Chain A
Amino acid sequence: MGKKRRFKGGEIPTSSMADIAFLLLIFFLVTTTIDTDKGLGIVLPPPGDIEIEIRKENILNCLINSQGKVLLDEEPTSVEQIHRIVGQRLRENDKLIISVKAHPKTAYNDYVRVIDQLKMANAKRISIANSN
């Protein structure tokens, strides 16, 4: 009498695989943070004191004092006006470099507002002078 052993069910149960995958999916969905950092991009000059001679008419000096008041080429200006004036100056002279210099006690917020205004005027050449 020959006994035939029948091989039964040599399979990995895959019916719950979808559930496991869902669980992992939900975990990664929850931990992912979509919102990226955003802000005003700027490129610092390379190290070393390289002196480049720039003609005086191509420089626009922008000074910020400790109270957040702005002096644009010796002219007291309100922050909201900067983008209009700089925009106009840039149309007259596309080689214009804006040199921003802030007093050491200036609040960071005032400085960012000025940089934002310059960005609004599409100024590409912004030079940041050392405050100290």
Chain B
Amino acid sequence: MQFSRKTKISSEIPTASMPDIIFMLLVFFMVTTVLKEYSGLPVNLPKARRIEKLKSKRHTVQLWVSKEGLISIDDRLLSVDDISLVMYDKRVADPQIVVSLKGDEEAEMGLISEIHDNLRKVEALKLNYSTKTLVD
């Protein structure tokens, strides 16, 4: 006498909802991606231990200072006095803007100080000295 199995256990992974899951991941990555990014100037960033992370790229302006004293914002070379003009527009568009200063190790403090003054003039007061992590 043969016994026939009454219940069939399906051994398949349900794939019907897979597109939905993938779409959800897709939407997540689309929202978090910031495509606009600039390459900037070649700099050797200084190293530091007490590092804070910047909250989001959307509210960050990268200001590059090379060791030759060149200054660049958004892939445009600027003179020191132009910083206040460019930064004024940016600060009006986004009041919570943070300036990420990517300065070369060998940049001179005289120039950095002038940048400070120009940023103060347009009230772009939140500054972040971009550094690498120093590992002891």
Interface residues of A (CB under 8 A from B): 14, 17-18, 21-22, 24-25, 28-29, 31-33, 36-47, 64, 102-109, 111-113, 115-116, 119-120, 128, 130-132
B136 to chain A, nearest CB (A): 11
Cβ contact within 8 Å between B109 and A111: yes
Main secondary structure of the interface of B (DSSP, over half): mixed
Interface residues of B (CB under 8 A from A): 15, 18-19, 22-23, 25-26, 29-30, 32-35, 37, 46, 48-57, 60, 62, 65, 100-101, 103-110, 112-114, 116-117, 119-121, 123-131, 133-134
Closest chain B residue, CB of each to CB of A129: B113
Cβ contact within 8 Å between A44 and B103: no
Closest chain B residue, CB of each to CB of A44: B125
Q: How far is the CA of A12 from the CA of B66 in the complex (A)?
A: 56
Q: How far is the CA of A25 from the CA of B113 in the complex (A)?
A: 44
Chain B neighbourhood of A106, CB < 8 A: 108-109
Closest chain B residue, CB of each to CB of A22: B22
Cβ contact within 8 Å between A40 and B30: no
- List 19 additional contacts besides A38-B52, A39-B129, A44-B126; criterion CB under 8 Å: A18-B15, A18-B19, A21-B19, A22-B22, A29-B29, A36-B55, A37-B62, A40-B50, A44-B125, A104-B110, A108-B109, A112-B46, A112-B48, A113-B48, A128-B113, A128-B116, A130-B116, A131-B109, A132-B114
